[in-house]
Amino acid sequence: MILHIDMDAFFASIEQAINPRLKGKPLIVGSRNNKLHTVICAASYEAKRLGIGSGMSSREAFQICPNLEFVCAEQGKYIWTSEQIFEMLKSYGLPLSYASIDEFQMDIAAHPEPLKLAEDIRKRIYANFNITASVGIAKNWLLAKTASKINKPNGVTLINDDNLRGILGRTPLEKVCGMGGKTGALLSSRGFKTALDLYLKMPAFFQDYPGKFSEEPEKPKSIGHSYTLPRALENPLVIRAWIRLLSEMVGERLRHKNLAAKTVHLWLNGPEIGNFGAQKTSSLATNDSFELYSRSFKIACLIPLNRPKIRALGVTASQLIPQESLSLFIEQKRREGLITTLDRINSRFGDGSIYPAQVDLTRSIK
Amino acid sequence: MKQQSFSPKARWDRHIPEDSNAAIPELLNEKIECLVLFKAAKIQPQMFTWRNRDYEIKTINYNWQERRGQEIVHYFSVSTGSDSYQISFNNTSLRWQVDRIFT
């Protein structure tokens, strides 16, 4: 049996716990510090009742509710809270893993009273953090995750063989993880209406998600970073600076994991080019941020337009292999020494403490 | 067990340009003197003095930590009865400051 914990309106709940004046009010947490020009990454339940939800533009949300409260997302507090909840859950001594920043899964196969455990977990979370969680319990992760969304907020749902058909029959298809987008729309057009339809007609979909409790750290298949700019830019120097910044971030994470990448993928989005993406594979794997940038820039040069406007961009490294530390040439050794030193400075004083001067252009959005 | 599903955003977010329509409440970052209780392995601020005025802390609403390189900054949301503040303590500089007033 899997117990799946899903925090209720996680970011918004934390902000309401931090600022008691926001409690009971419709609140949105914006991904960017501009209340009229950002995307909502979390909405309080008071805002959700008005039809406001994550992914919506803030402008649209304020049209629905002009008195909406707004807070800019600050990831540090959400990550810290998530880590503390995880540490608290470890005290139960059961196999445990993250499903996301605000979701956790526990293997409770050996536990005699799953509902009592679920209640205890919810009470402890509320007592320690003043925020609520909803819990789902079922025989596999996907069913448990689906169950956790049924009695939100602050609820517990157990799906067993006796009530499975009843509960899944009342659960719309889009409530199942992975069914909210195009896949769900496609299945819906073919007559799948509820989670029960999916369970009966595609049982393998549920069986392929037993839960992730491997003791071995998962090796990533790719590492990437992307960013949506406040507005479309056409200054090529600034766009190159953003590609450089994203390459620095990707390179840092590769080096941290002792990995190197053979393939670099660059993705650009803009009003004139739509979605442009291409990749370059080299026989020589690298985790040197400048080399990642150079390869990305060569991809960017493939765009046929001169000075296209860019609104969003991303750099991803894939075909990852363990880093090989054999440097034959003096220049190569010096370069590796420089990179190691820069990483140590950023590790000591915080990421972004020292960075290539070119990256400074990202501060300019003109 | 280290988290696997996501990676904390690096402080590269410092590079995000300032926006003239910024809605974030102004950060004060003013030094304060703080009376603190260290109890049960927790930091519990009791009162602070800011701009020559004493503020007794009635409630600690929330606390969290952030790491900046080797520094750890402890943040507290506190209420004095009439108002709520965010104060913080840097474990390297040993500085207490008031970050913002919650409105």
Give pLDDT tens digits for A215-238: 555 678 899 998 888 788 889 999
Count of pairs with CB atoms under 8 A, one residue in A, one in B? 122
In this complex, do A79 and B7 lie within 8 Å of one another by their Cβ atoms? Answer: no
Task: Please report which confidence band the pLDDT of residue B32 belongs to, taking 50, 70 and 90 as the band edges.
Answer: very high
- Is any Cβ of chain B less than 8 angstroms from the Cβ of A320? no
Q: What is the pLDDT of residues A6-34, one digit of tens each?
A: 999 999 999 999 999 999 999 999 877 77
In this complex, do A98 and B23 lie within 8 Å of one another by their Cβ atoms? Answer: no
- What is the overall mean pLDDT for chain A? 88
Q: What is the pLDDT of residues B50-76, one digit of tens each?
A: 999 999 999 999 999 988 778 899 999
Q: Between B23, B67, B84, which is nearest A33 by CB? A: B23
CA A96 distance to own-chain centroid: 19
Q: Between A80, A86, A101, which is nearest B6 by CB? A: A101
Least confident of A54-58, A208-212, A250-254, B95-99: A208-212
Cβ–Cβ under 8 Å, residues B72 and B66? yes
pLDDT of residue A191: 84
In this complex, do A75 and B13 lie within 8 Å of one another by their Cβ atoms? Answer: yes
Cα–Cα distance, B95 to B86 (Å, whole number): 14
Cβ–Cβ under 8 Å, residues A17 and A215? no
Cα–Cα distance, A219 to B74 (Å, whole number): 32
List the Cα angle A336/A339/A341 in 5-degree steps: 110
Cα–Cα distance, B35 to B43 (Å, whole number): 10
Cβ–Cβ under 8 Å, residues A140 and A2? yes
What Å distances lie between residue B54 and A163, B47, B57, B60, B77, CA to CA?
59, 7, 10, 16, 17
Whether residue B9 has pLDDT greater than 50: no
The active-site residue out of A15, A46, A69, A103 is: A103
In this complex, do B19 and A34 lie within 8 Å of one another by their Cβ atoms? Answer: yes
Higher pLDDT, B8 or A227: A227
From chain A residues 95-154, the ones with a CB under 8 A of any chain B CB are: 96-101, 129-130
Cα–Cα distance, A292 to A237 (Å, whole number): 17
Region A283-306: mean pLDDT is 93
Check: pTM over 0.90? Answer yes or no: no
pLDDT of residue A216: 55
Residues of chain B contacting A212 with CB distance shorter than 8 Å: 4
**What is the set of domains in chain A, with CATH numbers?**
2-6+78-207 (3.30.70.270), 8-76 (3.40.1170.60), 222-363 (3.30.1490.100)
- Rounded to 10 degrees, the C-alpha dihedral A206/A207/A212/A216 comes to -150
A103 is catalytic: yes
